[in-house]
Chains A and B, each alone.
Chain A
Amino acid sequence: MRVALFLTCVNDTLYPNTGRAVVRLLSRLGVDVDFPVDQTCCGQAHYNTGYRHEAEPLARRFADVFGEYEAIVTPSGSCGAMVRELYPRMGERARAEGRGESLATALAPVVPRTYELTEFLVDVLGVTDVGAYYPHTVTYHPTCHGLRSLGLGERPRRLLQAVKGLELVELPGAEECCGFGGTFALKNPDVSAAMGADKVRNAESTGAEVLCAADNSCLMHLGGTMTRLGTDMRPVHIAEILASAEEEPAV
């Protein structure tokens, strides 16, 4: 299987370790990973802020760059949801506005082949025990797009539960939004910060060392809130936990 890693612009620029973890993890599971270097951004920030027309060329680019792969894997629930839920909508709108079939046609093959990482592991590879070792207490925050748009359900928790040494503790109010929401954090800073602070306090109340999620954007917002609130907790992407192994454990 030719699998492409769609790392997303935030991960590429700010969280390269997450990308390295995905490569390490998938390689360990026998998957041949490629990283098409012409990839950039899914266009979600544009689309969700109201700049659909700026997002369209990015969607087209996604289709061009990833078109030839059998599966496209991304460690971001939010960007995964953009491709799977909103690209078809963009295609329909372009068609309805009489701008031809081409965007919809270009997107048609890539949309169903795009998987969020935990989905790919559980549904496509059929594994829940990925042979990871991570001796820490972890609480898991299911991010909104992963939870509601992609319906990841129990997949991330099942993967975490199978990790050796890991103790998973339940996060109170887990399904509430962390308050990031892309440009929402810029446009409504007070509300966004209040939501973030509540999430961090809930996470802290579990006594876990690590707050884990499948999306670095939310973790960036929560991590920034943690340092401001002066907590000892660390935000860690699920890929880094799943890639961690006994011979070389992640911290």
Chain B
Amino acid sequence: MSGSESGNESGNGTGTGTFVGMPAFPRAAHDAVNDQTLRGNLRHATHTIRAKRAKAVAEVSDWAALRDAGKRIKDHTLRHLDRYLEQLEESVTAAGGTVHWAADADEANRIVAQLVKETGESEVVKVKSMATQEIGLNEALLAEGIHAYETDLAELIVQLGKDRPSHILVPAIHRNRSEIRDIFRSEMGSWGRPAPEGLTDTPAELAEAARLHLREKFLRAKVGVSGANFMVAETGTLVVVESEGNGRMCLTLPETLISVVGIEKIVPTWRDLEVFLQTLPRSSTAERMNPYTSMWTGTTDEDGPRAFHLVLLDNGRTDTLADEVGRQALRCIRCSACLNVCPVYERAGGHAYGSVYPGPIGAILSPQLRGTQSEIDASLPYASSLCGACYEVCPVAIDIPEVLVHLRERVVEGGEVIRQGNKVVLRPAKGHAAERAAMRAARWAFTHPAALRTGQRLASRTRRLQPRTLPGPGRAWSGTRDLPALPKEPFRDWWQRTRTRGGSKEGSK
């Protein structure tokens, strides 16, 4: 895949997130837009799931109420996050688990590596966890000589293909069946059990190849690493929802289980799950209920892992919480509905977003978790036409366009933000000087109608001299579209010429 090659495979070690060194969104998207296979794969996949989701949601008569309830539960939890996290720590500890607090990626990686080393093992099996990808855990473990095996089918494809995830729910959405067969054939052998002879690209055969390859790992592994979709404060219960059963294997077979979870994944009570276990599957896979819902509370004698560790990950979340407009991004339950409806995601593909969180949610989450300083992070708030489709489908009503515009303001105007708990004043991002000047000039003209009118008249009079393509920054636009011809006379001149009374208000202010 073009655009995915720019180096990260062997781990950047800094744990500041994957995809370091990505070009800004427009350049990364340029390659994707011109990759016909990729566009075909994405178009097919997103349109199929889009239609299915709409049907699954339409079946529920109280969807709007559920959406509102989800939003309110999450907002309430975020408002009292400190309290609920303490309650969670107490409940997990009481149930026989151990809680660790990680302020950033490096700290979380260090904790997990240490815990694995203490078991004496050098392999772990993983059930899909975005948090561990966010912090680059696999690379960090590898640096310590520990191999992490992804067991989610799509994650497996991404890992074997030395690729990057491009979707929240279907990280290999950018691959089609024959590409997957090729990856299995050439790569499985060097990671464990090879692909069967003569593997074809029928879904059943591909699934069976993955099953055999993974089963060997499940039965061998002594340590499992997971994420969680929810954590229940009152009981200390963690919840993973999935559809392949690999999660259940990872959560029950190993002797030690380490869960790495973002602090925003908490809900106060068991009852709150009622809402999300309805909205999440319908929004994400268009299923009425997800096939496997695994819940575990600490440790249980003679059943499941003997040791349970919960690593609570901050990594920019508390800073995000400090932002009044931006904090709503923390309500996200990672259903991926916003990716599937996003027309920009559909054309640009997930890699262009340069983060494990692609699509509309990635465009607002990454620049908040990582800051807007890097080129890619400064370009993400602009990776949207603000069409609003993402807001419409979001099951927790995150107003993504609102946050995008808010972050754009941060990019071009700078201002005060919280970073690692401290107030810092951001300078405007580089490269916006010409735009800022143009915006000021336009504002000036729009607050001085007489000048505006002169400009319009001049443009009309010289209209035969004007090209239908634009110079400078406008060339990008007129490279693929023609400008309309300028009319002979702007409307206001026609109005004043034909309506004498229309002119009576002139100069009234």
Shortest C-beta distance, B117 to chain A (Å), equals 45
Q: Does A38 contact B (CB under 8 A)?
A: yes
Contact A196 B481 (CB under 8 A): yes
Contact A148 B33 (CB under 8 A): no
Q: Does B61 contact A (CB under 8 A)?
A: no
Contact A54 B474 (CB under 8 A): no
Contact A177 B385 (CB under 8 A): yes
Interchain pairs with CB closer than 8 A, number:
203
Of the listed stretches B153-161, B292-300, B494-502, chain A binds: B494-502
Q: Known contacts A46-B442, A52-B409, A225-B481; is A14 also within 8 Å of B487 by CB?
A: yes
Contact A176 B383 (CB under 8 A): no
Q: Which of B347, B408, B449, B495 contacts A194 (CB under 8 A)?
A: B347
> Which residues does chain B contribute within 8 Å of A184, judged by CB atoms?
382, 384-386
Number of interface residues of A (CB under 8 A): 71
> Which residues does chain A contribute within 8 Å of B484, judged by CB atoms?
14-15, 220, 223-224
Q: Does A193 contact B (CB under 8 A)?
A: yes
Q: Which of B477, B482, B487, B489 contacts A227 (CB under 8 A)?
A: B482
Contact A48 B491 (CB under 8 A): no
Q: How far is the CA of A88 from the CA of B407 in the complex (A)?
A: 19
User: Nearest residue in B to A219 (C-beta to C-beta)?
Assistant: B484
Q: Does B376 contact A (CB under 8 A)?
A: no
Q: How far is the CA of A191 from the CA of B392 in the complex (A)?
A: 21
User: Nearest residue in A to B507 (C-beta to C-beta)?
Assistant: A38
Among B446, B478, B509, the one with the most A-chain Cβ atoms within 10 Å of its Cβ is B446
Contact B476 A186 (CB under 8 A): yes
Contact A43 B446 (CB under 8 A): yes
Contact B495 A37 (CB under 8 A): yes
* Interface size, B (range): 35 or more
Instruction: Give the contacts of B412-457 with A (CB-CB under 8 A).
Output: 412-413, 435-436, 439-440, 442-443, 445-447, 449, 452, 456
Q: Does B322 contact A (CB under 8 A)?
A: no
> Which residues does chain A contribute within 8 Å of B409, judged by CB atoms?
50-52
> Which residues does chain A contribute within 8 Å of B383, judged by CB atoms?
188
User: Nearest residue in B to A42 (C-beta to C-beta)?
Assistant: B446
Question: Interface digits, A189-205 against B, CB 8 Å rule (1 contact, 0 not)?
Answer: 11111111100000000
> Which residues does chain A contribute within 8 Å of B503, judged by CB atoms?
37
Q: How far is the CA of A185 from the CA of B34 in the complex (A)?
A: 17
Question: Interface digits, B352-388 against A, CB 8 Å rule (1 contact, 0 not)?
Answer: 0000000000000000000000000000011111111
User: Nearest residue in B to A192 (C-beta to C-beta)?
Assistant: B385
Instruction: Give the contacts of A160-189 with B (CB-CB under 8 A).
Output: 175-177, 179-189
Q: Known contacts A7-B491, A16-B494; is A148 also within 8 Å of B392 by CB?
A: yes
Q: How far is the CA of A180 from the CA of B384 in the complex (A)?
A: 10
Q: Which of B348, B391, B410, B490 contacts A12 (CB under 8 A)?
A: B490
> Which residues does chain A contribute within 8 Å of B491, judged by CB atoms?
7, 11-12, 15-16, 19-20, 35
- Excluding A12-B490, A48-B386, 19 further A-B contacts by CB distance (< 8 Å) are A14-B486, A15-B487, A37-B503, A37-B505, A43-B443, A50-B381, A51-B413, A54-B439, A58-B447, A144-B386, A144-B387, A148-B392, A149-B388, A176-B387, A179-B385, A191-B26, A223-B484, A224-B481, A227-B482
A/B interface sample: 22 pairs, CB < 8 A = A13-B456, A14-B487, A38-B506, A39-B449, A43-B443, A48-B405, A50-B407, A54-B439, A54-B442, A65-B509, A144-B386, A144-B388, A148-B389, A175-B389, A177-B389, A186-B477, A193-B479, A194-B347, A195-B347, A220-B483, A224-B484, A225-B480
